[in-house]
Structure 1
Amino acid sequence: MHPSLARLLQVSGQLSQEELAKRIGELPQTITNWKRRGVSKPGALKGAATFGVSANWILNGGETQGKVDVVQVKGWDSTTPVDDDEVEIPFYKDVLVSCGHGTFSEIVGHETRKLRLSKSTLRRYGVSECNAYALTAFGDSMSPIINSGAIVYVDVGRTNITDGKIYAISHGGLFKFKFLYRMPKGGVRIVSANKEEYPEESLTAEEIMDQEFCVVAYAFNVQNPLP
């Protein structure tokens, strides 16, 4: 068995090939093919999104770094006391669906909905409570890592680009989640997970200004909806 498939089966809890295929939306024959050829990149992305590990780790092994983790949100209502190790953060459910034009602060300034997140999660990622927000993803440009309707936790205090990380960006007045990469002379590459339908874009420093591009926040967690 190819090592990449062995790692994928490991994080799945040793599902059968048929069960694994169903969980990640592949054909059983595809899983059989991976025994010899190894897991494909799209398959690794699906596995990463489903089981909360790094796609690079599935493909190559080593440390499970560079992942966007899955966080479970506990059931509660406004009368439920906040635990000592919890914080309430603003949840901007409709920002990415109907954001329109304007700055981030203008759009989200009046939100009253909240989600709860553990302080240990914030400490793990070095996020200050005052900079933590929850946004709703819209569309399939980042699928299967971030699916439409996913809740994405972001840090608005971290806007300097680290190559290959996912950020919430404002581009021409629209909010999007994208992989970002720095380019020489102040340019930026904007990359989608779903590259077939959403081709990569490159902006020069001048185009960044002309097209009203800016980095809004760093995405550090995602909770994808169940299929």
Structure 2
Amino acid sequence: MDYKDIIDIVCALVTTSATVILAFLTSRYVKLTNAIVEESKSSRDPLVYVDIEPSHHYVKLVVGNAGMTAAHDVKVDIQDEVKWERLKQHVFGFQPRERLQSGIPYLAPHRVLQYELGLPKWQELKEKDGILKITIKFRNDRNVLTEKLCQINLSQYLAISMDSFSNSNKDIVRAINDLERSSRQKDTSLKSALHHFTQKKCPMCGEGISLSAKKCPKCLEFIEAAVPAQETIEP
């Protein structure tokens, strides 16, 4: 075996090794690209959540979608051992369950729905029997099913101030609306005052006209200029 054969063998081994390494790197690149694409798709998926919001002793169930796309066929199943108040034949806490279990066909992005879950017996509420087990099921635009389980303990809301659930954004919007309303009222008062000082009434029809007008644009009557009274000097 001469040097030429050895060089050919070495070149063949190097080429084969480079091909294998290139194939391995290409496969890794393809997998990484697919992972990035899937991650990009999942970042736009709907994100359905549930929460509890006490309001004047009542309990509201909040169902929202914090994702960038709509959620389809949203179903919420609630299992609990909470003692609810009764009003005649109606037991609070069970009213919205059938509607939630039957499903919300379409939940738009950033949409929040509130359901009056009921009035629990707060005085008898204990940590062990105040747990709500909530199962959430929904589908994305690709018809992929997502299922989540969460537990909410109602007893943890006993010592929480109701101000914790106030919406600061709504308060800001209300303050801005009040400021705009006050500004419009001031503008109206100012315009009324200016109108009083820059116009006079037509002696014929009572229409407001300019102070320098010689003819009323409404009744077309000429307006006589006021002649200043001459002073008389007594001898």
The interval holding the TM-score normalised by the smaller chain is under 0.3
Which of the pair is proportionally richer in helix?
Answer: 2
Q: Point out which structure has higher relative CO (alpha carbons under 8 A, 6+ apart).
A: 1
**TM-score for the superposition, normalised by structure 2:** 0.20
CA radius of gyration, larger in: 2
